[in-house]
Structure 1
Amino acid sequence: MKASSQLRLIAIKTKAKVFISDNIKNDSYYHSSIKNYLFDGEIPKETYRKSWYEVKTVPTKAERKVAPERINERYELKAGYPESELTPKVIYERYIDEDSQYAEVIGLYEKKFELSEETYEELQFEINVIEELDQFEITQQQYDLRFNFLDTLNYHPVLLPTRPCKLTKEESYKIIRDYIKHNIDSRYAYVSSDYDFCFTVKKRIELYKQESYQVDVNQNTRKKPKYETRYRKTRDVTIFEVAPKAYQSYPIVQEFKGENEKDLQNNIDNYLSELINEINRPYTECVHCKGYGVILKEDDNETA
């Protein structure tokens, strides 16, 4: 078909696929039309990035869907009304206005038509490959990534996740805090301070020998105290504490960093995994040194 319009595209080419967009200027409120096109006869796949789509290869042909049109428009006489010279069975007109000879009887008719088949028209287009990479994926953004200022000037925003990046201290603090609260094993540790400005985790260490202590169980303070002997089975020690910024003696969180978005995610995952494993590790006091050292509860490997 003869081309009827111009389409401008940018593309990122990889060994396995190509990503294309018609948002040339990277406008925040741009509404892409790519989903209405065929590229080399195929519908492009949506990605997690608005106005970016996935195709198999750099397109050589683009087509736009042409909406069906009304054809054979007419008026048909409603059932139950007799045909006559004034009221024929079918009136082959697209529209009956007040000047038509059928204006007075239009209420006896129903508007009818068919739709033409959906077709595509070929488009002229130009495409600019802005980057070629061995591997690249447009992934769902989980974090508010921060990039080097020069990279923000020299790279298209969709490519920035391939560059060195980091999180703010506040977001890093929130990730750590939320992860611990959802994964801590309350048998061996607990959160003792949980605020936007500081966070503390304490570990329960099983005593090598239970300690007795007295508790006044008489709730009426005017009466003679009534003591009951109870036994303490664990002692608590601070195993982790952090703050998003300077607060008392709390260590300030180190923001997560990575050589790219994938590396940053790996660093986050590894840090959280090692941290929660240590928090949830069951310790008990060493019997031999009478509590001056602790050992893993599940084995006899003593640790200083």
Structure 2
Amino acid sequence: MDIFGIKTDSGYYITGNLRADSYRSGSNLTGYIINGGKPQETFHRDWLWVGSEPKEVKKIVRQPNINHRFELVSDSFASSDIPRVMPKHEIMEENEDGYCGWKEEFKHLQSLYEEKSDKQPDILEPIEFTYTTILEVPEIKISEDFNYGGIVSQGDIKHQIIDEIIFPDIVLPNKPSKLTSHQSYNIVRNHIKQNINMDVSKITSDYDFCFTVKKKVILSSPRHIKNEILNARGRSYQKRRYREYYVKEREVEVFEMTYFPKCYSPYTPIRGFTGRNHQDLQKNIDKYLKEIMEIINTPLKDCHYCDGMGVIITET
């Protein structure tokens, strides 16, 4: 058996499946005792963790049950003709079809008995193996909670092709990481929709290819609006009609985006998030989302001294 390991300051990540294929469902070291204990599962299905370099490997071998027998369901049935216990090999036989069943002379007693046996303890069988440390790193960092609204998760993170070629995939969380422009668009769009204060701002475009948010800026004083009402032909009535109302706020665009390669004009393509590693990537995403929501959800009103040439941040 070949075992490969990555040495860290706290222990070793080990695998027997260095280049995991997509058909595997877990580590091929599961079920082995290494250095006297069971390896711990990790965030990666093909890698386990041990506290020290593997020096001893043993395989857990299950032992067959022994003392197969039939015992009476209730001792009250016992008599000189109905024993409390009967060995299985004495009352059962294999027929010509290979089926094991009760012998004819005991079949009338079958409903009175239940089959039982005794378990044997497992044994540990020493395994010959070779161990190779393929890499040494201080630690493997991973963001366990990297999930943004079910849209993007750990498995969607991209890495440099050279890193994917050189390093085992368990180490990739330590390497430069990024998301595509489209993935970043979906994260930001979903986050804004879930956290926007509709009393302060509103979403005016919400599509798979473009997104816009406008701020509601309270006017320094209500503005009187008077619009003429036209007939179905778009002409004035003989006696002109008007609709009058007051406007208390105006709208200002504060955020818009599309994504690459869609680049829906005239919207600005959002750049894909990047990071030095998975943790840094998550930190950068969270920082951006926090800052953009502060901009969107901060209430504003026109400055009454300059009549809207400037705005004032109002108390929330």
Q: TM-score range by the shorter chain?
A: 0.7 to 0.9
165-174 vs 132-141, which deviates more? 132-141
Conserved in 2, the CA contact under 8 Å of 1:172 and 1:254?
Answer: yes
**Match of 1:145?**
157
Secondary structure of the residue aligned to 1:97 is strand
Secondary structure of the residue aligned to 2:128 is strand
1:13 to 7, 12, 23: 7
> Aligned residues: percent identity?
33
Aligned residue runs from structure 1 range 26-175, under 5 A = 26-31=20-25, 32-76=27-71, 80=77, 82-84=79-81, 90-94=85-89, 96-97=92-93, 103-107=103-107, 108-109=109-110, 110=113, 111-140=115-144, 142-143=153-154, 144-175=156-187
Query: What's the TM-score, normalizing by structure 1?
Result: 0.82
**Match of 2:250?**
235
CA offset at residue 77 of structure 1? 6.0
1:3-45: CA deviations, max 9, x gaps? xxxx322222211232222223311111334332222232222
Secondary structure of the residue aligned to 1:35 is coil
Aligned residue runs from structure 1 range 168-187, under 5 A = 168-187=180-199
1:120-162: CA deviations, max 9, x gaps? 3332222222211112145546241222222222111222222
Shift in alpha-carbon separation, 1:287–1:116, aligned structure 2, 3 A: same
Distance 1:139 1:68 in 2: 41
Give unpaired runs (5+ residues) of structure 2: 147-152, 230-236
**Match of 1:3?**
none
**Match of 2:278?**
261
Distance 1:138 1:255 in 2: 20
Distance 1:76 1:274 in 2: 73
Distance 2:43 2:314 in 1: 46
Shift in alpha-carbon separation, 1:115–1:227, aligned structure 2, 3 A: same
Give unpaired runs (5+ residues) of structure 1: 1-6, 300-304
Conserved in 2, the CA contact under 8 Å of 1:19 and 1:53?
Answer: yes
Shift in alpha-carbon separation, 1:282–1:66, aligned structure 2, 3 A: same
Query: What's the TM-score, normalizing by structure 2?
Result: 0.79
1:278-302: CA deviations, max 9, x gaps? 1111111111111111111139xxx
Q: 1:295 and 2:299 equivalent? A: no
Matched length = 287
Conserved in 1, the CA contact under 8 Å of 2:15 and 2:28?
Answer: no
